[in-house]
């Protein structure tokens, strides 16, 4: 899957110098897929899984690109505007909670990633992903662990996906403020769990994700 540092450096150089290579990453639990297996962060209880794909323009350098989790809200918003203006191509795709419940989060995430790549115009010759291989992709792909810290196009895709998802969660909060989506973005935080215990699950919740603390309080 291309995890060795020398290989990663070659990929980084090709990404920065070619317009035919894309990068794709997705946002789930505001982390990467299965990151919570090695993290103490709570998992995402509500909202879609969102994937971003970006082809950078080698003639339009974007300074400051880095892992979306390591940048501030204001910096992500600023970079989102720059990326979507300067990139050769970019796209986002998502799978809703109902689909996550139907096929599981892993498959839903991969589906969103594949859809995002397929929406790029022009289509890339190669796709760089953050370690997880996308099945049934029409072009070559390479996995680079922690690619959002090594490959600028992957960092750009992570920012586009995260900002898109955060904005959607804000819109859901405006429509139904009971759950506090503007604060936790769907995370299973203490206040979110308390809101679910009080009001029950909404259509935005992933019903297959039931914390043990809520087993006796929700259907």
Mean pLDDT of 185-209: 91
Residue 42 has pLDDT above 50, yes or no: no
Q: Using the structure block, give the residue that is written with the tokens 């022009």.
A: 122
Mean pLDDT of 33-55: 66
d(CA 213, CA 197): 9
**What are the domain boundaries of the chain?**
5-214
pLDDT for 131 equals 65
pLDDT digits over 12-31, tens only? Answer: 434 443 445 777 765 544 44
**Measured torsion, CA atoms of residues 44, 129, 155, 31, in degrees rounded to the nearest 10:** 20
Chain center to CA of 186? 14
d(CA 107, CA 174): 29
pLDDT digits over 139-195, tens only? Answer: 999 888 888 888 899 999 999 999 999 999 999 999 999 999 999 999 889 999 999
d(CA 33, CA 173): 24
Confidence band, pLDDT 50/70/90 cuts, at residue 11:
very low
For the chain, give the percent of residues with pLDDT over 90: 57
Q: Tell me the whole-structure pTM to 2 decimals.
A: 0.81
- Rg of the chain over all Cα atoms, to the nearest angstrom: 17
pLDDT for 9 equals 38
Find out whether 125 and 21 touch, Cβ atoms under 8 Å.
Answer: yes
Residue 63 has pLDDT above 50, yes or no: yes
Written as six digits, the tokens of 104 are 């599981």
- Kind of pairing, strands 126-129 and 21-27? parallel
Average pLDDT value for the chain: 80
Among residues 101, 83, 99, the alpha carbon closest in space to that of 91 is found at 83
Residue 113 has pLDDT above 60, yes or no: yes
Could you tell me the CATH superfamily of domain 5-214?
Ribonuclease H-like superfamily/Ribonuclease H (3.30.420.10)
């Amino acid at each position: 899957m291309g995890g060795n540092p020398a290989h990663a450096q070659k990929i980084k150089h090709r990404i920065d110098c070619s317009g035919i290579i894309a990068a794709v990453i997705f946002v789930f639990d505001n982390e990467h897929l299965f990151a919570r297996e090695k993290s103490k962060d709570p998992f995402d209880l509500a909202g879609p899984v969102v994937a971003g794909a970006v082809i950078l323009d080698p003639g339009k350098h974007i300074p400051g690109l880095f892992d979306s989790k390591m940048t501030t809200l204001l910096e992500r918003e600023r970079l989102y505007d720059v990326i979507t203006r300067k990139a050769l191509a970019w796209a986002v795709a998502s799978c809703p909670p109902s689909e996550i419940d139907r096929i599981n989060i892993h498959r839903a995430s991969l589906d969103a990633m594949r859809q995002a790549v397929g929406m790029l115009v022009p289509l890339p010759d190669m796709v760089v992903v953050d370690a997880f291989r996308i099945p049934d992709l029409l072009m070559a792909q390479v996995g680079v662990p922690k690619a959002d810290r090594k490959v600028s196009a992957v960092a750009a895709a992570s920012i586009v996906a995260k900002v898109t998802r955060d904005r959607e969660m804000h819109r859901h909060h405006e429509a139904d403020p009971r759950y506090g989506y503007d604060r936790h973005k769907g995370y299973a935080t203490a206040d979110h769990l308390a809101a679910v215990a009080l009001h029950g699950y909404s259509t935005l919740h992933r019903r297959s994700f039931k914390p043990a603390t809520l087993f006796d309080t929700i259907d």
